[in-house]
Every structure is written in C-alpha cells, then in structure tokens.
Amino acid sequence: MPDQILLEGIEFYGYHGVPDEEQAIGHRYRVDVVLELDLSQAGRTDQLEHTVNYAEVAQRIVAIGTGTRYRLMEALAERLCREILETFPPVQRVELTLRKRLPPAGTVMENAGVRIARER
C-alpha cells in the first residue's frame, strides 16, 4: 500500500447547487482526502519540507469551497483534486470524498456526495 496522508472532516459553508435557490441559501459541506505520496524521507528526517503541509491542503480546500460557486458536486470535487495535484507536487494521487450535509432532496437524507480519485 502506498504512503498516505489522511485528512478527514474538513468543513465549510458553500453556495453550490443546481437550483438558484440552493446557491442563494448555501449548505454545509464536508471533505475527506487521501493524499498518496512517498513519506519515507519525511519519516527519516522529521522535516516538513520532505512532506506536504496538510494544513495548507485543508486551507486550499476551504478557499475553493467558499470562493467559487459550482452547480454540481462533481465539478467542485474535480476542481479540488486538480488544485491539490497542481499545488502540491509530491502528491501522486488524491482520493477525495465531498458530502453536502442535509441536502434538499425531497426526503430526509444526512448527506449526498461524490468520491473521485485523480493521479498524475
């Protein structure tokens, strides 16, 4: 199994959705991310420059999630993965789960979401 950094439960309030009303009201979103990269040098040296700063990854996710509006969760998830791969070169693969909390689906539902994986 490749080395991984796990980020779970990154939350933000964003204005995404197909109907205009959803974009006006907004929703809570939750993101879980798995970053695959070689962590052996960081493990040997105990130096941040030999890994990826997960706080910076989380901050980028929140900035995109709160700064740009998307109709589809698929489009937002794609943008998040692309941004991680472009901004953090050591990451070879990213798996991202995006959940919209309490979506307006005409029924009681805790989450609706997508999970995608992208690699170099």
Residues carrying an active site annotation: 100
Helix axes 73-87, 54-67, angle to 10 degrees: 140
Structure tokens at 111: 């989450």
- Residue 104 CA: distances (Å) to CA of 20, 24, 50, 88: 13, 13, 43, 34
Q: Is the C-alpha dihedral spanning 58, 34, 79, 101 positive or negative?
A: negative
